[in-house]
Structure 1
């Protein structure tokens, strides 16, 4: 079922049957990707493909693993810190066969940090990638594919205010997820929020940033500026990928990318 550590199929374009990304909401927004910093690119490509049965994509010098709902991008650079202790504590994925996924993980010589029965009534586990990214896995035998994007878990001293910001900016739809009351859905993922008094910004760490696809980046950037958002990087064109991207920080310090055209990567 799972890819061997050394046997990975590389595609120049996404497989239409596996890695479908979500369409936009009424704000023209959908979740798009998680971007990791890793010291060993080949190792992380193999682990993410193997753990999630993802599709490896290499295009114009960029590398990503695609699963339903998201792309997982990699920059080969030593991260400055693990994800735990930052404003994005972990990212979560559903897998159709959790037991098989954890068995494969252990076969690669890695440990499972914790296993429990989650608040949604499904089995869950934590694993930690070699770059320090905490990954939450939720077993769901009803999944149509082997895996899918599930959630991004933000930590903040003011989780409700941060939730409200994501609802206002990205059109998130608030809901209770299991026992977690402070969450909101955007197409492609759930955004969850927990309280922590001491967290650091994500830039340069294991999870450098998260990304959202927008239909009109200039209009969206203009709306953000009207709300007082200051851009780290103004919208610019990436010719090799034929896309537009921009970067800014959320109120807690999470680095956020918006893109136009990256959903065709």
Structure 2
């Protein structure tokens, strides 16, 4: 998040229901299925008026959540439908809220809403190049990827590009970043710059891509040459990259029921989700969804 004051943003997002997570140089707020990255940085406008108009979260108990947010002094804007509304956060960031009583967690990721003149063309582009699955929600065309929905709203004129706005870009992870970029380049899609190693988070490689409507996204992958000495297991619902050495260190004692599995997610074979659970581990890669909101010139990884 491009923020005038990171501490103000941290308070807002923790009041919403997120948890602060620090990873090396990165400050993030974690919700199930999404990380919101926070960074002090000037920006040239809020989310409204740019291609990423807002992003949306699910909440399990809508009335309870709204009451809590109002009590915390958050800017709540009721929506036109029951169980729906908006939080207007610091730095003019807009977040849509939907009730979903079937959630297994208090909150969860729902969608990223792009405002474009031609939703059908945008949907087709994301399906063709990013391996999304075409869909429809109410009046909106959608492109569904593991863990989130990219939603397209029709507008009369092009919106401002996301780079430099308070929501600067969105981001995902892929299993093989070199193969992913090669496939895009073969289709005539140019990356904003070459793949590079992260300078802010170890073992990550990153590339930026801007779609024809001005939505910037970053794509990251674990650097397989990087070795770690520990293991972090997370619930598969978060669809994060998960990897480990071939044998766990002695101080890690997994449950007897552990097993290893990995399966492709969606039509893009480069995207995988892994579930790790054995004393002898394989290298498993996955896809993580998150909103990334700082310009690439800051070398945020």
Q: Could you say whether these structures have the same fold, taking a TM-score greater than 0.5 normalized by the shorter chain as the test?
A: yes
**1:221-236 equivalence runs, <5 A:** 221-236=181-196
Q: Secondary structure at the match of 1:131?
A: helix
Q: Which runs of 5+ in 1 are unaligned?
A: 1-35
1:248 aligns with 2:209: yes
1:185 aligns with 2:144: yes
Contact kept? 1:95, 1:139, Cα under 8 Å: yes
1:97 aligns with 2:61: yes
Q: Secondary structure at the match of 2:241?
A: helix
Q: Secondary structure at the match of 1:112?
A: strand
* Residue 47 of structure 1, aligned match among 12, 17, 24: 12
Aligned counterpart, 2:134 = 174
* Residue 87 of structure 1, aligned match among 47, 51, 54: 51
- TM-score, with structure 2 as normaliser: 0.71
Q: Secondary structure at the match of 1:207?
A: coil
Q: Deviations over 1:34-63 (max 9, x none)?
A: xx2111111211221221x22211121101
Aligned counterpart, 2:2 = 37
* Residue 116 of structure 2, aligned match among 147, 156, 165: 156
1:64 aligns with 2:28: yes
Q: 1:211 to 1:132 in 2, by over 3 A?
A: same
Aligned counterpart, 2:275 = none
Q: Secondary structure at the match of 1:256?
A: strand
Q: Per residue, is there more strand in 1 or in 2?
A: 1
Contact kept? 1:95, 1:146, Cα under 8 Å: yes
Contact kept? 2:75, 2:89, Cα under 8 Å: no
Return the index of the structure with the highest Cα Rg. Answer: 2
Q: Secondary structure at the match of 2:58?
A: strand
Aligned counterpart, 1:195 = 154
Q: CA–CA distance in 1 between the matches of 2:14 and 2:127? A: 32
Aligned counterpart, 1:25 = none
Q: CA–CA distance in 1 between the matches of 2:192 and 2:39? A: 18
Q: Secondary structure at the match of 1:58?
A: strand
RMSD of aligned alpha carbons: 1.7
Contact kept? 2:170, 2:217, Cα under 8 Å: yes
Deviation at 1:83, TM superposition (A): 0.7
Q: Secondary structure at the match of 1:42?
A: helix
- TM-score, with structure 1 as normaliser: 0.80
Contact kept? 1:91, 1:136, Cα under 8 Å: yes
Deviation at 1:142, TM superposition (A): 1.8
